[in-house]
Amino acid sequence: MPKEYLEITGDEKVSVFCSDNLKSYLCQNDVYTGVYNNTLNCDECDDECSTETYTFRMTSSEWPTSIIGQALVEYLCNKTSMTPERCQSMRNHTDVQLRENFVALKSFYDTMSVETYSVQPAMSITDLLCNVGGCLGLWLGLSVLSFCEVFHFLVELLQAALQMFSLCPTKPKM
């Protein structure tokens, strides 16, 4: 399906949206309008999935020189379907007029490096369950051990009490 290019005109800005369908266009238009009017509430918006940023640096020089300008006019007259009147008009242009009507644009990447940031959970569900299970196992193990020690203490306390009242004679410990 070819993409439709739809223009939204504001007070001073013109935006072109590339939309697959009307629903997508309307969504983009709502967001654009919210940003433009500063009424977009992004308290509950998710972080963006991807961001592309480009550093911009512009240099310029006078182009074309008079020789290149005339050669460019001849090339355009010979290789395009320009009318003879238009060609003659371009041949009569001054160097300044040619500079104002032609541009050579070269764009380069400032750097070829790509930085990728990814967000990953600190702990997966499996890690969480393993950690909770380990803590519970440790806590239960200590609880059983503590229970056994308390039970052993109570048994020895009962033996000492019975021995004091001579109800149960036992051998002295060595």
Instruction: Dump pLDDT digits (tens) for 15-34.
Output: 455 666 777 778 777 887 88
Query: End of a domain among 96, 119, 142?
Result: 119
pLDDT band at 35 (very low <50, low <70, confident <90, very high): confident
User: What contacts 47, CB < 8 A, 6 or more positions away?
Assistant: 119
Residue 43 lies in a domain: no
Contact 97, 64 (CB under 8 A): no
Same domain? For 94 and 132 the reply is no
Number of domains into which the chain is organized: 3
- Tell me which residue has tokens 């004679």: 169
Same domain? For 144 and 106 the reply is no
Same domain? For 127 and 173 the reply is yes
Cα 29 from Cα 22, distance rounded (Å): 10
pTM for the model stands at 0.34
Domain range for 13: 4-36
